[in-house]
């Protein structure tokens, strides 16, 4: 992906290396035992809407995964970034490459969605992106490396532990900068759903439903975020920002984080009723729909 000349967003807050607890008492947010935390690793790696929803998923019996060790460091983020095994940066650059990459992708999503909203006669209010390492706090609860990337509608912020990019590459076999950009664009997709009121509407509907019904709605919400991520990709492609292999990277990432793919990897079998994000095939299909049409109206996953 040619992201070198993307406008850098001012809406990135770098909390990496910050004191996550702030000395406040441990409490509130996510209170989970060791066993549950193991499940959270999986639930969250499929890009949870917020940690509270993940806890809901746990109650309905989520997949069980072997404990994970945290990756040492994320791979590089250079414009020709295809991390080779064992490849590391020799010395830290003056500018943190992970932060620069996140600011570039976020900045580009701002430009794209600003134009799309303008065309609809409304104004796009960009979200903030919080980069953290290990753990931090959000209005939706405590975020940890195990939480994975997520969007919190209450504070309109995207939370991203930059080590996740390494995880995406190593654990899910989906390396590459466009795959990483897809992750950010997907979370921005949730912000778009928040602005359009879809998220609130779905939240209200969920309150009337049992676990199975809630999961089904959650899948539709996630697939729409994938479609919206595709819309950003459509405009990136139109401005000639994609390179050979980028689309494949994105497709691989969308499929790798399908519920079936993750369940199969984690437990060896698939439980479709427990899906909260959609199958690999569905995620791929909706990401492609956005990518090929560039049209929000085509992203009606609720229809």
Q: Which is nearer to Zn ion, 81 or 105 (CB)?
A: 105
CB of 222 to Zn ion, least distance (A): 5
Distance between CA atoms of residues 146 and 140, nearest Å: 15
Q: What residues between 22 and 41 interact with Zn ion by CB under 5 A? A: none
Residue whose C-alpha is closest to residue 18's, from 133, 179, 95: 133
CB of 49 to Zn ion, least distance (A): 5
Distance between CA atoms of residues 168 and 179, nearest Å: 8
Distance between CA atoms of residues 290 and 10, nearest Å: 26
Residue nearest Zn ion, CB atom distance: 47
159 binds Zn ion per the rule CB under 5 A: no
Stretch that binds Zn ion, among 111-119, 126-134, 208-216, 222-230 (CB under 5 A): 222-230
Stretch that binds Zn ion, among 135-143, 200-208, 219-227, 288-296 (CB under 5 A): 219-227
Q: Which is nearer to Zn ion, 132 or 150 (CB)?
A: 150
Q: Which is nearer to Zn ion, 32 or 183 (CB)?
A: 183
Eight-class DSSP state of 120: T
47 binds Zn ion per the rule CB under 5 A: yes
C-beta neighbour count of 250 within 10 angstroms: 28
Structural contact between residues 137 and 176, judged by C-beta atoms closer than 8 angstroms? no
Q: Which is nearer to Zn ion, 214 or 241 (CB)?
A: 214
Stretch that binds Zn ion, among 72-80, 162-170, 215-223, 257-265 (CB under 5 A): 215-223
SS3 content of the chain, % helix, strand, coil (to 5): 50, 10, 40
Eight-class DSSP state of 86: T
Mark residues 166-205: x for contact with Zn ion by CB under 5 A, - for none: ----------------------------------------
Q: For Zn ion, how many residues bind (rule: CB under 5 A)? A: 3
Stretch that binds Zn ion, among 45-53, 165-173, 175-183, 234-242 (CB under 5 A): 45-53
Residue whose C-alpha is closest to residue 221's, from 40, 44, 48: 48
CB of 122 to Zn ion, least distance (A): 22
Q: Which is nearer to Zn ion, 225 or 227 (CB)?
A: 225
CB of 139 to Zn ion, least distance (A): 17
CB of 47 to Zn ion, least distance (A): 4
Q: Cα dist. 151→63, 103, 181 in Å?
A: 22, 16, 15
Q: Cα dist. 93→64, 89, 96, 235, 273 in Å?
A: 38, 9, 6, 30, 46
Contacts of 52 (CB under 8 A, 6+ apart): 30, 140, 141
77 binds Zn ion per the rule CB under 5 A: no
Distance between CA atoms of residues 148 and 276, nearest Å: 15
Distance between CA atoms of residues 204 and 130, nearest Å: 27
Q: Which residues bind Zn ion (CB under 5 A)?
A: 47, 222, 225
């Amino acid at each position: 992906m040619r992201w070198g000349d993307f406008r850098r967003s001012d809406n990135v807050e770098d909390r990496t290396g910050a004191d996550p607890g702030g000395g406040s008492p441990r409490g509130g947010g996510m209170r989970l035992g060791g066993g549950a935390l193991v499940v959270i690793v999986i639930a969250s790696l499929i890009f949870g809407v917020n940690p509270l929803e993940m806890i809901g998923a746990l109650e309905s019996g989520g997949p069980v995964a072997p404990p994970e060790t945290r990756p040492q460091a994320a791979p590089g983020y250079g414009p020709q970034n295809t991390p080779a095994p064992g490849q590391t940066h020799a010395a830290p650059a003056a500018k943190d490459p992970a932060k620069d990459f996140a600011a570039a992708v976020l900045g580009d999503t701002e430009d794209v969605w600003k134009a799309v909203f303008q065309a609809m006669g409304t104004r796009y209010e960009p979200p903030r992106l919080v980069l953290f390492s290990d753990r931090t706090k959000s209005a939706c609860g405590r975020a940890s490396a195990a939480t994975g990337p997520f969007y919190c509608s209450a504070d309109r912020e995207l939370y991203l532990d930059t080590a996740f990019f390494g995880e995406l590459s190593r654990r899910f076999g989906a390396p590459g900068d466009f795959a990483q950009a897809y992750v950010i664009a997907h979370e921005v997709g949730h912000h778009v759903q928040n602005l359009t009121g879809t998220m609130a509407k779905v939240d209200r509907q969920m309150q009337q439903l049992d676990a199975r019904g809630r999961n089904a709605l959650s899948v539709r919400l996630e697939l729409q975020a994938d479609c919206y991520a595709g819309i950003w990709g459509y405009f990136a492609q139109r401005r000639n920002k994609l390179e050979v292999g980028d689309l494949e990277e994105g497709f691989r990432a969308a499929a790798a984080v399908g519920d079936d793919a993750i369940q199969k990897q984690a437990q060896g079998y698939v439980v479709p009723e427990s899906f909260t994000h959609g199958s690999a095939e569905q995620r791929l299909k909706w990401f492609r729909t956005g990518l090929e049409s560039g049209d929000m109206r085509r992203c009606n996953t609720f229809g």
